[in-house]
């Protein structure tokens, strides 16, 4: 069995679904079910006997110890995190608690469990920590892409908390010998992403006839990674990665935010045209930029390709088309997650420029 923390969230749920589509090995999903954790993400495996679920806070050491004792996993994939930069600006305490204290608690529980193993079970155990390219800071247009040796320079409470968690994972390998792996990924997109993030927000707002908010002038650049590709990279790292190593995962798809939104509008114009015949691009609205907004992220994923033979299967065009098609086919899922809390969040953080 493997443990997947945050398995009811966006990337975690995609990983669990993909894993069970390709493996018979059971999964225990560990999730606190905060606003972005949604069991509806796992509805397709609700009756799958290979899938088990525990509503547990990763800061609850006693609960984690019980899960280890009962299920005896051979690997832990640690996705659970507070992940939205805007939320970290307005409520950094939750990010410190979940991302730093939670990862510390996970590491302590894993170390204690690993200490009970021997022989092949001890040698085979892995703790894979899923992190972000945001720990590296911001790039200028001419800077080379982030590599695994780029110095850390986090610029938001979110990225600082993830940087702290990365350092803890590294320290537990070097100090205690815990067999860890770390992945740092670029911006993910795809099915089941909570609609506070750019791509699902734009799709949902476009279909609802609402403004499509873009921070600043829309020139902020990200490397866009389809979530299914991210999941395949993590499986490769788990299977063949060298313990103690870091692997950057990117999509080789640098795009600025305005280009992303215009591409989404063109796809929606094709796949679900407006009743009035106009383009969804007419709904684009520029809003006040957020504090400390990093200008550019870019991942150099050549180490992952060189050592493990991984490259993304999706281009920006194919991944975006799959994503739009999924959201068009799953309108009920979108309606379910757009709660009152979500609406208040949007009103607070996406104010139109005067």
Q: Is 31 a catalytic residue?
A: no
Cα-trace Rg, the chain = 20
First to last CA, the chain: 54
Active-site hit among 31, 133, 223, 294: 133
Per the CB < 8 A criterion, the answer to whether 82 and 32 are in contact is no
Active-site hit among 57, 134, 236, 314: 134
Q: How far, in Å, are 191, 227, 231, 262, 319 from residue 322 at the CA level?
A: 9, 11, 16, 16, 5
Active-site hit among 68, 113, 136, 158: 158
How far apart CA 33 and CA 56 sit, in angstroms, is 8
Q: Is 133 a catalytic residue?
A: yes
Concatenating the DSSP letter of every residue in 242-282 gives PTT-EEEE--S-EEEHHHHHHHHHHHHHHHS--TTS--GGG
How far apart CA 26 and CA 9 sit, in angstroms, is 18
Q: Is 341 a catalytic residue?
A: no
How far apart CA 53 and CA 7 sit, in angstroms, is 9
Q: Within a 10 A sphere around the Cβ of 176, how many other Cβ atoms? A: 15
Active site residues: 133-134, 158
């Amino acid at each position: 069995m493997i443990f997947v923390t945050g398995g009811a969230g966006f990337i975690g749920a995609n990983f669990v679904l993909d894993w069970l589509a390709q493996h018979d090995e059971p999964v225990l999903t560990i999730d606190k079910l905060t606003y972005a954790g949604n069991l509806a993400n796992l509805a397709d495996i609700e009756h799958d006997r290979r899938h088990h679920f525990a509503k547990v806070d990763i800061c609850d050491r006693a609960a984690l110890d019980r899960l280890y004792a009962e299920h005896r996993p051979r690997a832990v994939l640690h996705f659970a995190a507070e992940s939205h930069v805007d939320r970290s600006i307005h409520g950094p305490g939750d990010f410190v608690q979940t991302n730093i204290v939670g990862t510390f608690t996970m590491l302590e529980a894993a170390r204690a469990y690993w200490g009970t193993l021997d022989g092949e079970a001890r040698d085979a155990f892995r703790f894979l920590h899923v992190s972000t390219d945001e720990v590296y800071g911001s790039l200028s247009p001419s800077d080379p892409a982030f590599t695994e040796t780029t110095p850390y320079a986090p610029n938001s409470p979110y990225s600082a908390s993830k940087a702290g968690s990365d350092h803890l994972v590294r320290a537990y390998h070097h100090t205690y010998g815990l067999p860890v792996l770390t992945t740092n990924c670029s911006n993910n997109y795809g099915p089941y992403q909570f609609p506070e993030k750019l791509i699902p927000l734009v799709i949902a707002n476009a279909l609802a006839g609402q403004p499509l908010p873009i921070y600043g002038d829309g020139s902020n650049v990200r490397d866009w990674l389809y979530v299914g590709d991210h999941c395949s990279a993590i499986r490769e790292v788990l299977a063949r990665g060298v313990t103690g190593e870091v692997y950057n995962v990117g999509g080789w798809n640098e795009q600025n935010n305005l280009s992303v939104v215009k591409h989404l509008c063109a796809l929606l114009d094709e796949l679900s045209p407006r009743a009035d015949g106009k383009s969804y691009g007419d709904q684009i609205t520029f809003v006040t930029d957020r504090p400390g907004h990093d200008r550019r992220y870019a991942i150099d994923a050549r180490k992952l390709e060189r050592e493990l033979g991984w490259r993304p299967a999706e281009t920006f065009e194919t991944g975006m088309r799959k994503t739009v098609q999924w959201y068009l086919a799953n309108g009920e899922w979108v309606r379910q997650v757009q709660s009152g809390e979500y609406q208040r969040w949007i009103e607070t953080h996406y104010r139109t420029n005067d």
